C-alpha cells in the first residue's frame, strides 16, 4: 500500500512539473516579439515586455481543492515581492496563479482586498504544558509589514487563472504549437512538443538568468520541426511506394510553380551510375524548368540549381557533356576557362530564346555563394542516403531521406 501511495505521489509530482512546462510554452507562444521569458526566476516563469513584467506561479492539484491555505502558500511570496517594491516600481508588475484544482473555493474574478486579508490569517495549533490543545491566529499581514493599501494594490494586480485538466491543457498547448509553426496536430504532438518540453526543462537547469531567458522567436526557431527527422520516420514506417507518394504530394505537386531559385542537393552513393544520374537530371529539368513554355514573361521563368555533392569531377564533366550533346542549355557559373565562380553567370535570366534549363553547382563553396548573393526567394530540396548537408541559412528547406537514387524520380 505504501509503495502504491508513493508511486501515485511521484506521478502527481511529475505531472505538476510537466503542467508547469506546458504553461510556460503556452505563455511564450502568446507573448509578443519583443517580450522575454525567464524560466525559474522570481516565479516559475516570468514574462517581461517593454513596459510590463508578469510573474506566473503554476500549480496542478488534480486531487486537491483550492482552499485558503493552498492559495496563501502560493501567493505569499508574491505579496512579499510586491510589498518590497517601491511605489514607482509596483505599477508595471502583474502576478498570476496559474493552475488546475479538483475544486476551487475562489473564482478567477473574485480575489479582492478582503480575500487577501482573510487568507493571510493562519491558525496554528499549540500544545500547552498541561497537554491541552489550543489554537492561535497568526496574521501574516503584520509579519510582512503590509498595509491595507499594499494588499489592495496587490489584489488589483493579481489574477487567479484557473485552467483545464492535464490532458486537455496539453492538447491545447500542442494545438498552439501546430498553429504557430503551421504544421499538423500529429506533427506537433509527435515531433515538436517533445522538443519544446526538453527545451524548457533545459532552460530551467541553467545557472544564470540570461541563459534561462528566451524570446518567442528563438523558442520557435529551436523547436521548429526537423523535416529530415520526420521523413526518416516516414521512410521506416511506410512502404517505398507510399513514402514516395506522400513526399511527392507534400512538396512536388504544385500546379502553379513560383519563379524562385530552387536548389536540388543530391547526395547520391558513389556507386550510382551515370545513367541513373542522367535519368534524375532529365526529370528535374523537364518538371522544374520553364524553358519549353513559350508564353511566359521572363520575370516568371525558372530553372533548377543542381548540386551533385558526391559526384567526382570527371563524372560531372561527362554528365555535362552528354546533356550538352542532347541540346540541354545550362550554366555552371564559370563563363570561361580558369575564371572565378560568377553568381551573375550561373543565375543568368532564362528566356524562351536562350532556353537555359539547368544550373549546375560544382562545389559546396559555390552553393553557399549562391545562397548569400541571390536576392530572390529561395528553397532547398535535399535528397540524402545518410545525413543531409548542414545548411544554417534561413532558407525554406526540405530534407528527404531516400534508400536508393531511383526514389528521387518517383518523388519529384
User: Are residues 155 and 297 located together in one domain of the fold?
Assistant: no
d(C-alpha 393, C-alpha 376), whole Å: 14
User: Are residues 58 and 144 located together in one domain of the fold?
Assistant: yes
User: Are residues 250 and 348 located together in one domain of the fold?
Assistant: yes
- Does an H or E element contain 326, and which? none
- Out of 172, 206, 223, pick the residue that ends a domain: 223
Cα 120 from chain centre:
41
pLDDT in tens, 281-316: 999 999 999 999 988 999 999 999 999 988 889 999
pLDDT for residue 180 is more than 80: yes
- Out of 167, 194, 223, pick the residue that ends a domain: 223
Residue position matching grid coordinates 572565378 = 340
Which candidate, 30, 49, 50, 47, places its Cα nearest to that of 39?
A: 47
User: Are residues 202 and 335 located together in one domain of the fold?
Assistant: no
User: Are residues 137 and 241 located together in one domain of the fold?
Assistant: no
- Out of 192, 223, 254, pick the residue that ends a domain: 223
User: Are residues 281 and 159 located together in one domain of the fold?
Assistant: no
Cα 271 from chain centre:
38
Beta strands, E only, 163-247: 213-214
User: Are residues 377 and 402 located together in one domain of the fold?
Assistant: yes
User: Are residues 10 and 51 located together in one domain of the fold?
Assistant: yes
pLDDT in tens, 311-361: 889 999 999 999 999 999 999 999 998 999 999 999 999 999 999 999 999
DSSP-derived letter for residue 271 is: T
Kindly state the cell numbers that stand for 393. 541559412
**The dihedral of CA 112, 113, 114, 118: what is its sign?**
positive
User: Are residues 259 and 376 located together in one domain of the fold?
Assistant: yes
State if pTM tops 0.75: no
The 10 Å Cβ neighbour count of residue 375 is 8
pLDDT at 3: 45
d(C-alpha 315, C-alpha 317), whole Å: 5
User: Are residues 182 and 303 located together in one domain of the fold?
Assistant: no
Crossing angle, helix 193-204 and helix 216-223, to 10 degrees?
Answer: 120
Q: Residue 115 belongs to what domain range?
A: 2-223
The 10 Å Cβ neighbour count of residue 96 is 24
pLDDT for residue 2 is more than 50: no
pLDDT at 396: 77
d(C-alpha 227, C-alpha 233), whole Å: 10
Kindly state the cell numbers that stand for 212. 534561462
Residue 156, exposed/middle/buried by CB under 10 A (0-12, 13-18, 19+)?
exposed
pLDDT at 9: 52
Which candidate, 91, 96, 66, 92, places its Cα nearest to that of 78?
A: 96
d(C-alpha 153, C-alpha 158), whole Å: 9
Rounded percentage of the chain residues whose pLDDT exceeds 70: 93
User: Are residues 210 and 291 located together in one domain of the fold?
Assistant: no
User: Are residues 215 and 261 located together in one domain of the fold?
Assistant: no
Coil, strand or helix at 377: coil
CATH number at 379 reads 3.40.309
Cα 236 from chain centre:
24
pLDDT for residue 255 is more than 50: yes
Residue 134 or residue 69, greater confidence: 69
Domain count, the chain: 2
Amino acid at each position: 500500500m505504501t509503495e502504491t501511495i508513493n508511486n501515485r505521489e511521484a506521478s502527481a509530482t511529475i505531472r505538476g512539473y510537466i503542467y508547469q512546462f506546458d504553461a510556460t510554452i503556452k505563455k511564450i507562444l502568446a507573448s509578443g516579439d519583443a517580450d522575454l521569458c525567464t524560466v525559474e526566476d522570481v516565479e516559475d516563469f516570468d514574462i517581461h515586455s517593454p513596459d510590463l513584467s508578469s510573474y506566473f506561479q503554476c500549480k496542478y492539484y488534480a486531487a486537491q481543492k483550492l482552499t485558503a491555505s493552498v492559495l496563501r502558500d502560493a501567493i505569499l511570496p508574491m505579496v512579499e515581492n510586491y510589498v518590497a517594491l517601491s511605489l514607482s516600481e509596483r505599477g508595471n508588475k502583474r502576478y498570476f496563479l496559474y493552475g488546475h484544482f479538483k475544486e476551487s473555493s475562489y473564482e478567477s474574478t473574485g480575489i479582492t482586498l478582503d480575500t487577501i486579508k482573510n487568507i493571510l490569517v493562519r491558525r496554528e495549533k499549540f500544545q500547552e504544558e498541561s497537554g491541552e490543545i489550543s489554537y492561535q491566529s497568526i496574521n501574516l499581514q503584520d509579519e510582512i509589514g503590509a498595509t491595507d493599501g499594499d494588499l489592495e494594490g496587490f489584489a488589483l494586480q493579481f489574477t487567479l487563472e484557473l485552467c483545464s485538466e492535464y490532458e486537455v491543457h496539453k492538447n491545447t498547448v500542442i494545438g498552439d504549437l501546430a498553429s504557430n509553426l503551421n504544421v499538423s496536430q500529429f506533427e506537433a504532438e509527435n515531433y515538436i512538443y517533445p522538443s519544446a518540453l526538453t527545451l524548457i526543462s533545459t532552460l530551467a537547469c541553467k545557472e544564470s538568468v540570461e541563459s534561462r531567458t528566451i524570446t518567442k522567436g528563438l523558442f520557435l526557431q529551436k523547436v521548429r520541426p526537423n523535416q529530415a527527422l520526420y521523413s526518416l520516420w516516414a521512410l521506416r514506417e511506410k512502404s517505398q511506394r507510399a513514402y514516395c507518394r506522400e513526399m511527392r504530394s507534400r512538396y512536388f505537386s504544385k500546379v502553379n510553380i513560383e519563379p524562385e531559385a530552387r536548389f536540388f542537393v543530391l547526395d547520391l552513393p558513389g556507386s550510382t551510375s551515370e545513367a541513373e544520374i542522367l535519368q534524375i537530371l532529365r526529370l528535374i529539368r523537364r518538371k522544374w524548368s520553364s524553358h519549353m513554355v513559350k508564353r511566359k514573361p521572363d520575370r516568371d521563368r525558372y530553372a533548377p540549381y543542381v548540386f551533385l555533392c558526391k559526384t567526382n569531377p570527371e563524372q560531372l564533366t561527362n554528365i555535362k557533356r552528354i546533356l550538352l550533346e542532347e541540346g540541354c542549355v545550362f550554366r555552371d557559373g564559370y563563363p570561361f576557362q580558369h575564371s572565378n565562380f560568377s553568381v551573375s553567370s550561373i543565375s543568368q535570366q532564362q528566356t524562351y530564346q536562350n532556353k537555359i534549363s539547368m544550373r549546375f553547382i560544382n562545389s559546396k563553396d559555390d552553393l553557399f555563394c549562391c545562397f548569400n548573393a541571390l536576392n530572390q526567394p529561395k528553397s532547398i530540396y535535399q535528397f540524402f542516403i545518410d545525413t543531409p548537408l548542414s545548411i544554417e541559412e534561413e532558407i525554406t528547406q526540405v530534407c528527404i531521406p531516400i534508400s536508393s537514387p531511383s526514389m528521387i524520380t518517383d518523388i519529384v
